[in-house]
Structure 1
Amino acid sequence: MSANLFQPYALNNTLTLANKILMAPLTRCMADANLVPTQQIADYYARRAEAGLIISEATIIRPDGQGYPNTPGLFSPEQVQGWKVVTDAVHANGGKIFAQLWHTGRVAHPHFFGGGDVLSASAVAVEGSVPRMRELTYQTPKAATKEDIEQLVKDYAQAAANAIDAGFDGVEIHGANGYLIDQFLHHDSNRREDEYGQTPENMSRFALEVLDAIVARIGADRTGLRLSPGAYFNMAADKRDRAIFDYLLPEVAKRDIAFVHAGIFDDAMEFDYLDGRVSSYLRKVYTGTLVGVGSYSAQSGAEAITANKFDLLAIGRPFIANPDYVAKVRQGEAVVEYNDAMLAELI
């Protein structure tokens, strides 16, 4: 029933995937105190190298991007070297791996980077506290200045270059799920009145500047982008948001990047201002390779690909529970069901 998942897929002239099953980015909080990936993390990814493409756990581009404990970085020489061990292990097992580049924006916390400003599109706080460290409540962020934005764009591009130096096959820009880039793309978090706010073109500007800087540095063929047109995580929905993505997605398509990846935990969710599911909206508006994700099984994902709802299937939590997920699906074997206790270790 899922045979179409095992056909090769050419992202472009540079990269062809062995199959259409991607390992979705999964935050594990298992880097060392200096945010360097460990040998244990290298072993973890190597065991999952049969995926057509692994997208790494979200990896911060600079210290003030950190919002969770022990999330890896890609800004120090030690971190680059740590990731080199990971990518070598994945490649030795025949796999491909992209780094997901991350800045958490207003859900960062000064506890992690020795104090200072938390940056966002606007000075609008999100309620709540840091996962795994509930004693840390979120701060009201500083609205990024034009100088801040200029430096952020440079730091995203440098992190992309660092990823290539670390042996990654490419990068996925994390522009989804309520983090920094996404905070510019939704009216709930972007109240700016300058050239980065108010209109779809202005609110898309930061995302496109980051994308263009990374493409210029490492190539469109090695660049993917994750987006959340539907506001649902650390973000309130606003019907005006659709116009932003109606503008942004055709602009992204002009860049001819490797793929756009839906940012949604459950693609059964529907958004009235998108006329339904995030994946359906993306398929309607974006003309390039689309990665679907969000509580799909191999069978339901294969059916969605057959129905042309998206081109590639990203699988998340089942990959935590089943290092051999791809082999099990190919052989028609039952997969182990995920449970949260599995987060306590890397298997």
Structure 2
Amino acid sequence: MTQQTQQTQQTTLFDRTRLGGLELPSRLVMAPLTRNRAGADGVPGDLMATYYAQRASAGLIIAEAATPNAVGRTYPHIPGIHTAAQVAGWRRVTDAVHAAGGRMYLQLQHGGRVGHPDTSGHVPLAPSAVRFPEPLHTPGGLRDAVAPREMTEEDIRSTVADFANAARSAVEAGFAGVEVHSANGHLLHQFLARNTNRRTDGWGGSVEGRIRFTVEVVRAVAEAVGPDRVGVRISPGLGVNGIEEGDTAAIYPALVGALAQLGPVYLHQVYADPASPLFDAIRRAWPGTLIANPALTREEVAADGGMRAGERLLAAGADLIALGRGFLANPDLVERLRTGAPLNAVRPEFLMYVQGAEGYTDYPALDASGIRAAAPAAAGPRGGRRPAAV
């Protein structure tokens, strides 16, 4: 019997539940969101440890994307999980979260064509040599994308191995598990989509060929750390980062069915819509825990952090609800939603491509009376370069 069939109409966002070997105090998950606060070498520092520890009351934290190798790096100050220093930095983060009572997974992401030599030191790799259509943030500012190099069979096999090694390193760093990122226009999603995967070999063409890379990465990661420590993120139909899947309704049932045979502990659907036939099809096809991340307007985030949208997804069969910006601005989001306390407003100018504590660790929590307390002290410098748009 799946978790879906066990749910009753009385299930709420604040119920305790289980995820593999983890006991979760609620069904509210902090979604992974890139914040660009790691060091220039991809090493997480004390500021990141403070940020995540402040949010340890989430049912589960899925930490922001970390790259499994150097060529997979997307933007400046993105964390990695492929050097000893990066593993040690993440260990400081997980130690801080565990000390605050939290639970934590790490998302593994390879950018594929979403990368630049000025950032990574490498020409990007991708399923096909299809250039990213927009300028990219680099240490020297916005730069036009370069044409990626089409991955050889050796590139593919070594990248699969890098994901497995990154998963082992994440467990060594204290994470309870990892989330394989096959969404949002990054490398695995590029293999799924027709406009970025123009291959005619066994890694492209048919639906079976285009899902193969994601399946092989998840297989290798599950063999490395155990399927009960592995989640997978998908974003059916989401056209970010220049993606045009072309056959969304065909590719995702095939992908979900193939992944189900590998037994990952959860599937995480981005921008899930409870009224969508595809959401219903994925829920029926997926035998395990389904995390749903709702698409939210700024007004919905300001009004309730996504609580009502999450409740609708829970009623439609999701098991856990992942929220992003609500957790960014409210380190104690679960308690605020539970009690109906007011929410901090998101400051979008500090979301990405900036450095320092401002708009990161200086969002206040509630004090015992339910009033916004002063922002906690945070390590690291304040301020930094602001993005042109978020």
TM-score normalised over the length of structure 2: 0.82
Hey, what's the Cα distance between the residues in 1 that align with 2:230 and 2:12?
A: 24
RMSD of Structure 2 on Structure 1 (CA): 2.1
Aligned to 2:171: 164
The aligned amino acid for 1:18 is P
SS of the residue 1:22 aligns to: strand
SS of the residue 2:12 aligns to: helix
Hey, what's the Cα distance between the residues in 2 that align with 1:3 and 1:285?
A: 21
Moved beyond 4 Å, runs of 4+: none
Hey, what's the Cα distance between the residues in 2 that align with 1:241 and 1:139?
A: 27
Aligned residues: 337
Look at both structures and tell me which one has the larger radius of gyration over its CA atoms. 2
1:66 equivalent in alignment to 2:78: no
Aligned to 1:152: 159
Q: Which runs of 5+ in 2 are unaligned?
A: 1-8, 297-304, 362-390
1:232 equivalent in alignment to 2:232: no
Hey, what's the Cα distance between the residues in 2 that align with 1:311 and 1:176?
A: 20
Q: 1:50 to 1:278 in 2, by over 3 A?
A: farther
Whether the 8 Å contact between 2:125 and 2:149 is mirrored in structure 1 is yes
Hey, what's the Cα distance between the residues in 2 that align with 1:304 and 1:249?
A: 19
SS of the residue 1:58 aligns to: strand
Structure 1 residue 251, shift from structure 2 partner: 1.1
Query: 125-134 vs 207-216, which deviates more?
Result: 125-134
Q: 1:128 to 1:2 in 2, by over 3 A?
A: farther
Q: Which runs of 5+ in 1 are unaligned?
A: none
Hey, what's the Cα distance between the residues in 2 that align with 1:188 and 1:194?
A: 16
Whether the 8 Å contact between 1:56 and 1:100 is mirrored in structure 2 is yes
Which of residues 300, 313, 328 is equivalent to 1:304?
A: 313
Hey, what's the Cα distance between the residues in 1 that align with 2:30 and 2:222?
A: 23
Partner deviation per Cα, 1:44-80 (whole Å, 9 max, x = no partner): 0001000011000111111111111100000111110
Hey, what's the Cα distance between the residues in 2 that align with 1:2 and 1:156?
A: 39
SS of the residue 2:163 aligns to: helix
Structure 1 residue 336, shift from structure 2 partner: 1.5
1:77 equivalent in alignment to 2:84: yes
The aligned amino acid for 2:81 is L
Hey, what's the Cα distance between the residues in 1 that align with 2:338 and 2:276?
A: 31
Query: 17-26 vs 330-339, which deviates more?
Result: 330-339
Percent of counterpart pairs with the same letter? 39
1:23 equivalent in alignment to 2:26: no
Partner deviation per Cα, 1:173-206 (whole Å, 9 max, x = no partner): 1110000000001111111000001111111111
1:46 equivalent in alignment to 2:53: yes
The aligned amino acid for 2:128 is S
Structure 1 residue 337, shift from structure 2 partner: 2.3
Whether the 8 Å contact between 1:201 and 1:247 is mirrored in structure 2 is yes
